Amino acid sequence: MDELLRRFRLSVVIVGFFSFVINLLMLSPALFMLQLFNRVLHSRSNETLLMLVLITLFALLIAGWLDGIRAQLLNRLGSFAWRQLRIPALEALWQWSHQGQNNDDNLDDVKTLAAFLSQPVKVFFDLPWFPVFLLILYLFHPLLAMVTVFGAVVMIGLAITEEIIEQRALTRVHEAMTKTQRFQREALAHQESVMGLGMRDQVARRWLRYHERALRIQESSTDATSRINGLAHITRGLIRMIGLTTAAWLIINTPDMSAGIMIATGILMGQALAPISGVIGAWKGFVKARQAYSRLRAMTDAHDRQQESRNSRLNLPRPQGILAVEQAHLVIGGRLILSNLAFQLNAGESLGVVGLNAAGKTSLARLLVGLYPPTSGRVTLDGADIHPWMQAGLGTSLGYLPQQVDLFSGTIAENIARLDEVAEREEDIIRAAQLAGIHDAILRLPDGYDTEIGAGGGTLSGGQRQLLALARALYRDPVFVVLDEPNASLDGQAELRLLGTLRELKALGTTTVIISHKLSVLRGVDKLLVLNQGRQVHYGLRAKILDILAKDPALPIPSAASSKRPKLPHQEDAPDTTSDERSSA
């Protein structure tokens, strides 16, 4: 932001100088008319007329050329604002809104500020010339200056009236349109239910009702502002007519006044009022740009502090995978999500996390990979806090499979490679796919690893998307892997392959956390953690926790809630799951 301010100050000096020269040269038409009536018509000299025309034409050409350069400089300033602010604004989007802060509009703020700097700001450089033109009109006659001031006051009054009316209507229009768009997004998100339940006509009728109300409010607002705009358009013409009429009256009743003053008055009055009209038109953009600048200033200050913190932090070596959670609490939006969690894993150990819905399992996964910083307590990897380390590049050593699988438009290889350059990571891509058990399925596709998957992986099945996301999580052999419901979309055969993947991760010495509703998926883990409403109910060795689950049917664990309790899978090489585990699968 400081670099942008320095560039802006330099641009102000240059553009201000150009504006001075441009407005000075734009006096040439008024001087031309004065000289035309005072000299040419009296002398009837063709040479004088030709020289006046050439001089005025040259002045206007120079003014036009400088105005083009001025516009290019402002366009470059707008582009420079984009280049300076786009990275901080983009990085702000990755920050989770723990305190109810909304960072989604940062790029819109950059767009608003850059758009204002590109062109509308130039009218403010012309505004200081209003008193200059007013002084010249005053020298012609004080009455002409009074008419110009009256016109400026009327135009400003109309603009203020329009602003008041529009602001009152905009709030109502925004609320109505927001409600319409929200319902539209809900309908599109629930399209399967809408079509499957025959609700299409009902949804369309409700959307039309919301949209019709928004249109009526918008029409009322537009009608009011259109009437004011029409009145302002008539007023501008009327003011110029009054000015010319006043000049003509002065010429008739003042013997010493030249007829050229009437034409020069019309030109000067138009040039004097043009900046007023321009500033009125650009004022809304100025207000929005000023508000955007305030928000962007706070955002860039926070970004600079984060960058300084990152740069001052030592580059830690690749971790071994020793996880420790120490009395960690998580509060989001004023609500306690996780409370007093305390457990640890040595490098290569695996942990299964179980609990009912809304137990806090997904929030725990995000806490463990550094997406959420703990409100209190610590979450460390090899003794270093995960959240700040994650901001400094720890993600390349982690693997994370979220519950909601999100894929990018592009090829299968690009998605596995986490959008790295595929040509440089072919062996890592294939290894990750083989480890996830999706390599053979990829080879059966028409273009193999070069297959385009569409937006969100729409061309793939749910199971394929989940395995592809698993391969992405295992890309480049991460030392710590968190899998949130990795079997949610898998059939029985794919789930068996997942168990093989988990065994291979254990053999590789990868620290692994698996969150699942199915105890069958967790039969190979070293430890179990039981959550209930964000609280740590039990934690310990798998066999011990399964004993507790078998003895206490009241515990809120879905797979442990059946009348027949699962047997303890003490044998690591057991060929199959227990009957209860099969039924839960």
For 332, the enclosing helix (H) or strand (E) is: strand 323-332
Cα(353)–Cα(522) distance, integer angstroms: 8
Helices and strands counted in the chain (H then E): 20, 10
**pLDDT beyond 90 at 560:** no
Tell me the backbone φ, ψ of residue 118, rounded to 5 degrees: -70, -40
**What average pLDDT does the structure give for the chain?**
82
Model pLDDT for residues 33-56, shown as the tens digit of each residue:
888 877 777 778 888 888 889 998
Least confident range of 156-165, 184-193, 318-327, 570-579: 570-579
Question: Is 80 exceeded by the pLDDT of residue 366?
Answer: yes
**Residue 358 to residue 371: CA distance in whole angstroms:** 18
Query: Quick one: what percent of the chain has pLDDT higher than 90?
Result: 28
Start-to-end Cα distance in the chain: 55
Which residues are CB-contacts of 461 (< 8 A; sequence separation ≥ 6)? 489
The residue written with tokens 């190979």 in the block is 524
DSSP string, 55-122: HHHHHHHHHHHHHHHHHHHHHHHHHHHHHHHHHHHHHHTTS--TTS---TTHHHHHHHHHHHHHTTTH
529 has a pLDDT exceeding 70: yes
More confident residue, 93 or 152: 152
pLDDT, one tens digit per residue, over 143-195 is: 888 988 888 888 888 777 877 777 777 677 778 888 888 888 888 877 777 77
Weakest mean pLDDT among 82-91, 96-105, 355-364, 546-555: 96-105
Q: Which of 57-61, 121-125, 461-465, 505-509 has the lowest mean pLDDT?
A: 121-125
Digit-coded pLDDT (tens) for 233-288: 787 778 878 888 888 888 888 777 777 788 888 888 888 888 887 777 777 777 77
Which long-range contacts (C-beta less than 8 Å, at least 24 apart) are formed by 151-155? 151/235, 151/236, 151/239, 151/242, 151/243, 151/269, 151/273, 152/272, 152/273, 152/276, 154/235, 154/239, 155/232, 155/235, 155/236, 155/239, 155/273, 155/276, 155/277, 155/280
Calculate mean pLDDT across residues 78-102: 68
What is the pLDDT, as a whole number, of residue 585?
A: 29
Q: Give the pLDDT band of residue 584 (cuts 50, 70, 90).
A: very low
Neighbours of 116 (CB within 10 A): 23
Contacts of 566 (CB under 8 A, 6+ apart): 519, 546, 549, 550, 559, 560, 578, 580, 581
